[in-house]
Amino acid sequence: MEYIADMDSVFEIIAEPNRRAILSLLVLSKQSVGEIERQLRMPQPTVSKHLRVLREAGFVESTVDAQRRLYRLRPEPLQELDAWLAQFRRFWSAHVDALERHLDRLDQPTIDHSRPTKKTTTRRRGPNRERDKGEK
């Protein structure tokens, strides 16, 4: 019966590293499935499945070239992502300004959030916060 995947939002699509790799490859030029397979060193079914997801989400389209299918990028979904990102651009330019204006006026120190239980304090992912107010 073949399952219907969810996978709507642009964001979920690009959450997958292999798919991002495919997109980054296709931005250079059209590629056939086999070419993608070889360049990214992933099994062919994996490539095909990801391409299907990308196609159904509008990220790519394909044309037939003899027995192969050539996949090419389509701009719309990425532009959509860009549009979402736009709301933050104002913010981070403002942020840079603020930094420049009063460079060392720290509003409040950043806090360690982990609640010390009896057990070891949970810490993950490498150097945490060590650059937090690192300026000055």
Partner DNA sequence: TCATTATATGCCTTGACACGTATATGCTGT
Partner DNA sequence: ACAGCATATACGTGTCAAGGCATATAATGA
Binding site for a copy of itself (CB under 8 A): 1-2, 4-5, 8-9, 11-12, 14-15, 17, 20, 23-24, 27, 52, 55-56, 61-64, 69, 73, 75, 78-79, 81-82, 84-85, 87-89, 91-92, 95-96, 107-111, 113, 119, 122, 124-125, 128-129, 132
- The Cα 20–Cα 12 span in angstroms is 11
CA 24 to chain centre: 11
Q: Which stretch binds DNA (CB under 7 A): 79-87, 92-100, 109-117, 125-133?
A: 109-117
For residue 136, the SS3 value is coil
How far are the Cα atoms of 40, 96, 102, 126 from residue 135, in angstroms, in the given order? 40, 13, 11, 20
Site string for DNA, 17-56 (x = CB under 7 A): -x-------------xxx--x----xxxxxxxxxxxx---
Instruction: Note the helical H segments in the chain.
Output: 10-13, 17-26, 33-40, 44-56, 76-101
Q: Can you give the binding site for DNA, defined by CB under 7 A?
A: 1-2, 5-7, 12, 15-16, 18, 32-34, 37, 42-53, 62, 66-69, 113-119, 122
